[in-house]
Structure 1
Amino acid sequence: MLKKNIYIGLIGLAFIFITLSADFTTGSDGGIQFGWFSLVPPVVSIVLAFVTKNVIISLFLGIFAGAFVLHSVDGNVLTALVQSFLSIVEYALTSLADRYNAGIILQVLVIGGLIALMTKMGGTRAVANALASKAKGPVSAQVISWILGLFLFFDDYANALIVGPVMRPVTDEKKISREKLSFIVDATAAPVAGIALISTWVGYEVGLIQDGYEAIGQSVNAYSIFIETIPYRFYNILMLLFVVCTALFLKEFGPMLKAERRARKYDPTNIEDINPNPSSSELDEMEPIEGVKLSIWNAIIPIGTLIVAALVGFYFNGYNTIMAGEDTTLIQTMQNSPFSFAGIQEAFGASDASVVLFQAALLASLVAMAMGVKQKAFTWGEAVDTWINGMKSLIITGAILLLAWSLSASITDLGTADFLVSLLSDSLPAFLLPSIIFILGSIISFATGTSYGTMGILMPLAIPLAAGISGDPEFIVISAGAVLTGAIFGDHCSPISDTTILSSMGAGVDHLAHVQTQMPYAIAVGIISVIFGFLPAGLGLPIWIVLPVSMVVTAAFLYFFGKSIDEPESELD
């Protein structure tokens, strides 16, 4: 450990020396061009995360390193160090002051409190028992987790924070590793929300498509174009298939294979055996009140309240936003047919998901408290104490999210995404464009930890570029799909992505363990998406051939290259 700290210290000193001696150029807009140094924050955070095994320290040092690069222009090391520390504080305050970010922090904490209330009332235990009766073994337990992820299609955050805690007791009992559960949760969060016809993602994606087509002088129905991109969202579709195949074949590879083999040997009654490196233990330690009657309704009603309130909230929040806006076409749509499919889709897209989910979780918590008090599971005072105790389990999640957002702000100030675009978007043959866009989107979203930001950067470039290279409308659609799915792929791999963080916390597993086990799977599916998806699609092969072939290859890859977990036959479904 001492030797490792010495190495890190020496590398830090070398970094300071190299940064201070760097000669940064000035761009045409008068701004400083940091070039390769713009990659410092994500590289430092990601490398240190794997070296130190501590996400908080790694993110903090990544932000500090990025701020040091920004302030090193003056050449004074002492001033740069002081300003870097002050910048971390400023980034954190600015990130928390953002209405959307604050809403996410609040919804995360409140959902943690809601889960604690349901646990104390015996609701989660009852659901686990009910699901356990349906889940006869590891196959069905994983498939049920996957189905629940599909059911919560409307928002990736809600998915990550609900499916993990609900399914955790079931997968623990069936000796499925927490790492595998977090992978299933993560693989059915953004990949599902990104292609759902109605979700909190749709409005943003449709808006980017609309702007891209306007840039080339074309007036289109952006939502129709969005639907046309779905068959070309190879990574989303193939990842969903991949999850099912790992469950049905009971085959894994890489670090996940080790985690699953370890899980098959552990004692399901020993939490330390199940989760040797827990991120938080408050929810694991919570048990139903002694003597309380276990009822699935103590979980179904609060979660149902959360889902219904969220769906209603998405609509009315978006409706009010549209009616207060200046888009006369949308206002006309909402006035003439407010509950049509188009009206609902537009309202969902315009809603503030973070605020709505916070409101819905708060309402669901009040419902759970009232139910518990009525059943004499606890008093109002005990209900509040339990609720706050549940929040404690996700405070670490809030801290990581806050640091991840601060890192993103540092990355933006350094122009990391712009540098990557200029570095990787050279001239290329037409058929390679969708693949290059997918890879570029993957790199940017991995480095920045945000799929939304990556989509916003690339879509205005991809559609005009595709239109300039080829006048084929289908080619433009393929390129737009490559932006949307490439951003999700990189985000899925990134240890600094908010959905990756929430998935590990929801499943109750060490964050880096989740990243290490999931990354080989994401990379494998990403490679298949390029070789058997975007390359043949770019060459003009029909999608009705490309998509089925890529799905067969995905299943075959796991079947032939995955290794059996080697369970006794009697324990299989």
Structure 2
Amino acid sequence: MQESYGVYSLLPPLIAIVLAIISRNVIVSLLIGVVSGYFIMEQSIVGALLESSKGIVSLFEKGWVVKTLVFAIFVGSIIELIQRSGGVDGFVHFLQKKKKLVTNKKEAELLAFFIGLAIFIESSITSLIAGAVSRPLTDKNGTSREKLAYICDSTAAPVCTMFPLNAWGALLLGLIGSQVEAGVITGEPIRLLGSALVFNFYALFSILLVLYTILAGIDFPAYTKVETPHLEFSEKEGDIFALIVPIASLLILVFVFLFITGGGDMLKGDGSTSVFAAVLGSIVISSLYYLVKKSMPAEEILPAIWRGAKTMVPIAAILIFAFAIGDVTVKMGTGIYMAHFANAILHPALLPAGIFLLSAIIAFSTGTSWGTFSIMMPIAITIATNTATGTETLLPLVIAAVISGGVFGDHASPISDTTIISAMAAGCDLIAHVKTQLPWALLAAFLSILFFLLFGYLAL
């Protein structure tokens, strides 16, 4: 078993989270968390600084990290191109003037909500598209950026896990399949995952609560100052296809590259490669469309691409340090330390709720739901199969508990890449997004625990 530094393994993520909340400087907070972790392991300031540098540099040797960073940066280019070409003006004119579909705050928020439901290819793409498309309308109608970030975040990962025809599904099927191959459980991975998704309570409650806040007209505190004069789009017709072409090409290309990288099976496709290739392909296709339609002068396209990319460099820096602290928690055995008590202290009926809480704590501490799935899925399945009674009925529940707990912890964590990207998409302050989303995430988590307790007892 991997070495664990015990209770000390909790310190780096806790230090990063507390400092981020207090200082509102996420990059510095994450860096301090990384260095503190290596200090515990190296017992030397010099060693900690040296290993921190090595750890951060080594991230660039990982293909998925580089692809994720390129994706995050060049999404900024797509957003800039859409704005400069008149795509946003055209979309707003179409909704407000031509079709009169969005005329008030509630309808603007519902637009973001339904975009989030409709796009379940990849959580980052869901948040980014919902935020970029809806933000002019929500700004214009008085919705705070914090509420838009909440809508983007809570209809991203939950939807991706409810309809896992994407990289999320590929990961989960792989984790379950590895347990089938190891002989821990029997059955078809896709059937086992499908039976578990019925109990994905956090995703369900998260989506329902978003809809409730919209229909009930609940306002979120507005910490982010919004300059509105440049959002007066009503007099400009623009070109709606200048928005549709980049977004549609991005979505279609993700499917295409998932199919290609999966050798004909999208569920086996490489998610990071697919979004990386799709964002670059979308920029090329969009640029060609703008040239043909003369939406932008040729000499303005390349500067717009670089200008949009530059706006995302700070976000890329945050992602790098978030990945770095995730590596530190793996090296220190944070997940292992928190998980090894479960089998000894939990009654079988309490197992789903316990797995949910444990997964949530790990995801919150590490800032990654995927990492949590990877840590907890084998543990949860092994514990369920070693339970004296109710194995067949408990198994879907514990699989769902891992998924739900991972998504909840990821939502609540200020060092999560999905939290960061949702704040970026909505154009609001990261810590403000965390603070305003947390009460609703906790309510969804509370309801999830109740249902996991109820079904845990019914399963025995």
Shift in Å, 1:96: 2.0
Shift in Å, 1:423: 4.4
State whether residues 121 and 292 of structure 1, in contact with CA within 8 Å, keep that contact through their aligned partners in structure 2: no
Residue identity opposite 2:190 in structure 1? Y
Shift in Å, 1:499: 0.7
Match of 2:49 among 78, 85, 105: 85
State whether residues 360 and 409 of structure 2, in contact with CA within 8 Å, keep that contact through their aligned partners in structure 1: yes
Shift in Å, 1:426: 3.0
Does residue 540 (structure 1) correspond to residue 458 (structure 2)? The answer is yes
Match of 1:352 among 256, 263, 270: 270
Render the CA deviation track for 1:20-52: whole Å, top value 9, x for unaligned.
xxxxxxxxx7x7642211111101100001111
Shift in Å, 1:371: 2.4
State whether residues 242 and 295 of structure 2, in contact with CA within 8 Å, keep that contact through their aligned partners in structure 1: no
TM-score normalised by the chain length of structure 2 = 0.94
Residue identity opposite 1:66 in structure 2? G
Render the CA deviation track for 1:280-308: whole Å, top value 9, x for unaligned.
xxxx9xx99xx996110111112111111
Shift in Å, 1:495: 0.7
Structure 2 counterpart of 1:527:
446
Q: Structure 1: where are the runs of 5+ without partners?
A: 1-28, 73-79, 272-283, 320-337, 339-346, 543-573
Aligned residue-pair number: 455
5 Å-filtered alignment, 1:257-406, equals 258-259=221-222, 269-270=228-229, 294-319=238-263, 347-406=265-324
State whether residues 66 and 410 of structure 1, in contact with CA within 8 Å, keep that contact through their aligned partners in structure 2: yes
Does residue 121 (structure 1) correspond to residue 85 (structure 2)? The answer is yes
Structure 2 counterpart of 1:510:
429
Structure 2 counterpart of 1:481:
400
Match of 2:190 among 210, 223, 232: 223
Cα distance in 1 for residues equivalent to 2:449 and 2:89: 43
Cα distance in 2 for residues equivalent to 1:292 and 1:143: 23
Shift in Å, 1:415: 1.1
Shift in Å, 1:98: 0.8
Structure 2 counterpart of 1:40:
11
State whether residues 203 and 350 of structure 1, in contact with CA within 8 Å, keep that contact through their aligned partners in structure 2: yes
Distance 1:317 1:413, change over 3 A: same
Q: Structure 2: where are the runs of 5+ without partners?
A: none
Shift in Å, 1:507: 0.8
Shift in Å, 1:377: 4.2
Structure 2 counterpart of 1:176:
143
Structure 2 counterpart of 1:96:
60
State whether residues 314 and 352 of structure 1, in contact with CA within 8 Å, keep that contact through their aligned partners in structure 2: yes
Structure 2 counterpart of 1:567:
none
State whether residues 445 and 490 of structure 1, in contact with CA within 8 Å, keep that contact through their aligned partners in structure 2: yes
Cα distance in 2 for residues equivalent to 1:191 and 1:409: 24
Match of 1:107 among 71, 76, 93: 71
Q: Secondary structure at the match of 1:251?
A: coil
What is the aligned-residue RMSD (CA, Å)? 2.2
Cα distance in 1 for residues equivalent to 2:391 and 2:333: 33
State whether residues 437 and 482 of structure 1, in contact with CA within 8 Å, keep that contact through their aligned partners in structure 2: yes
Structure 2 counterpart of 1:418:
336
Cα distance in 1 for residues equivalent to 2:39 and 2:30: 14
Does residue 454 (structure 1) correspond to residue 372 (structure 2)? The answer is yes
Residue identity opposite 2:168 in structure 1? W
State whether residues 432 and 538 of structure 1, in contact with CA within 8 Å, keep that contact through their aligned partners in structure 2: yes
State whether residues 306 and 360 of structure 1, in contact with CA within 8 Å, keep that contact through their aligned partners in structure 2: yes
Render the CA deviation track for 1:230-252: whole Å, top value 9, x for unaligned.
11000001111110011011135
Deviates more, 1:383-392 or 1:411-420: 411-420
Identical-pair percentage:
31
Q: Which of the pair has more CA radius of gyration?
A: 1
State whether residues 4 and 336 of structure 2, in contact with CA within 8 Å, keep that contact through their aligned partners in structure 1: no
Structure 1 counterpart of 2:124:
157
Distance 1:422 1:185, change over 3 A: same
Residue identity opposite 2:405 in structure 1? G
Does residue 428 (structure 1) correspond to residue 392 (structure 2)? The answer is no
Shift in Å, 1:473: 1.1
Cα distance in 2 for residues equivalent to 1:251 and 1:535: 30
Shift in Å, 1:480: 1.1
Render the CA deviation track for 1:206-258: whole Å, top value 9, x for unaligned.
12122234455443111011111111000001111110011011135xxx3x3
TM-score normalised by the chain length of structure 1 = 0.76
Structure 2 counterpart of 1:54:
25
Shift in Å, 1:128: 2.6
State whether residues 129 and 170 of structure 1, in contact with CA within 8 Å, keep that contact through their aligned partners in structure 2: no
Q: Secondary structure at the match of 2:136?
A: helix
Render the CA deviation track for 1:444-478: whole Å, top value 9, x for unaligned.
01101111111111111111211221244121111
Distance 1:142 1:414, change over 3 A: same
5 Å-filtered alignment, 1:135-150, equals 135-150=102-117
Structure 2 counterpart of 1:10:
none
State whether residues 216 and 467 of structure 1, in contact with CA within 8 Å, keep that contact through their aligned partners in structure 2: no
Distance 1:521 1:293, change over 3 A: closer
Match of 1:408 among 306, 312, 326: 326
State whether residues 128 and 167 of structure 1, in contact with CA within 8 Å, keep that contact through their aligned partners in structure 2: no
Match of 2:40 among 69, 81, 86: 69
Cα distance in 1 for residues equivalent to 2:146 and 2:4: 40
Does residue 500 (structure 1) correspond to residue 419 (structure 2)? The answer is yes
